[in-house]
A = this chain, B = another copy of it.
């Protein structure tokens, strides 16, 4: 074994999740997280830019999956549906982690700063999706609009999937909401 126990980063993530759950985000200090992970506060900030980021850095692979799915969506697909496919791909990545997602979301929902971070991450994803649409030849503002629609649909689908028992399938919920979106914008 090396000089230090391995997986410092995941130990920090684990410790943070536990402490944020137990006492709440605001009542947890970074020093406490580091201590539970067997590290120092300074090391925490080497792995995560700030106290909030420890809950979000795991989302990078999820994001890449979505952007990648958009790049591989069939070319003739209209922008909204291409985005829909991408979001579905992301949904599948979450499908079998509902318990973890619930636990994490309970922490976020209880704290305004964490909600800010979550929103900006989704905004950044929307921006990446708009870039992807432009790579497909979609012009602005259609690209920006379709991307934002996709994120809005995901957010609402995710919320429903988490707190209602009758929405067991996230990808399916995304699709239903996408259809609903089309009805709503058609003026129904």
Contact = CB atoms under 8 A, between A and B. Distances in A.
Interface of A: 78-81, 112, 115-117, 119-120, 123, 141-142, 144-146, 148-149, 152-153, 155-156, 160, 177, 180-188
What's the number of copies of this chain in the assembled complex?
Answer: 2
Contacts of A182: 185-186
A141 B186 contact: no
Nearest to A112: B120
A110 B117 CA distance: 17
A149 B119 contact: no
| Chain A, interface SS category | helix
Contacts of A146: 184
Given A119-B119, A120-B119, A141-B156, A181 B177 contact: no
A145 B176 CA distance: 12
18 contacts: A78-B184, A78-B187, A78-B188, A115-B120, A115-B123, A116-B116, A116-B119, A119-B120, A145-B152, A145-B180, A145-B181, A149-B181, A149-B184, A152-B152, A182-B185, A182-B186, A185-B185, A185-B186
